[in-house]
């Protein structure tokens, strides 16, 4: 499946975006840790690491459009639905626990981390479904 042209393009996009993410995150952490950033520029630098992550979400959408195999596309859609449901469910539960002062605050960008973990969960669910069908 990794030899498919659409997945190769997707992988190139994601690798590029993750390199940009690493660079922007290091730049932001360095600047904020040394108190070099202030004013509107600080807001811009704080947002920079989010942009490649948003790009990964867009790359996934573009992959779904470019994928020509309907079965592979369906598996990917199901995987992203699992990821989305997983991330939103955990975020919602944590939000209520936090609202009632039962747990500490967690930065909201971890929702994206949950989504990426959910992709792994969705992949496992796809594998289990395929195994049952076989």
For residue range 63-86, list pLDDT tens digits in order: 999 999 999 999 999 999 999 999
pLDDT class for 134, splitting at 50, 70, 90? confident
**What pLDDT digit, counting tens, does each position of 98-111 carry?**
999 999 999 999 99
Distance CA 65, CA 133 (A): 26
**Closest C-alpha among 58, 57, 46, 48 to residue 20:** 48
Assess whether pLDDT exceeds 60 at residue 16. Answer: yes
Q: Whole-prediction pTM value?
A: 0.89
Q: Could you tell me the two tokens for 102?
A: 């039962």
State what percent of residues in the chain have pLDDT above 70.
Answer: 99
Backbone φ and ψ for 86, nearest 5 degrees, come out as -65, -50
Q: What is the pLDDT of residue 125?
A: 95
């Amino acid at each position: 499946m990794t030899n498919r042209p659409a997945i190769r393009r997707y992988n190139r996009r994601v690798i590029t975006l993750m390199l940009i993410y690493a660079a922007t995150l290091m730049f932001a952490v360095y600047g904020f840790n040394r108190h070099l950033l202030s004013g509107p520029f600080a807001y811009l630098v704080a947002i920079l690491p989010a942009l490649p992550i948003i790009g990964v979400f867009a790359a996934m959408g573009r992959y779904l459009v470019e994928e020509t195999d309907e079965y592979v596309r369906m598996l990917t859609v199901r995987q992203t639905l699992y990821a989305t449901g997983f991330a939103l469910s955990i975020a919602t539960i944590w939000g209520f626990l936090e609202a009632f002062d039962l747990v500490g605050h967690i930065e909201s960008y971890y929702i994206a981390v949950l989504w990426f973990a959910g992709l792994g969960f969705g992949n496992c669910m796809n594998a289990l479904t395929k195994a049952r069908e076989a």
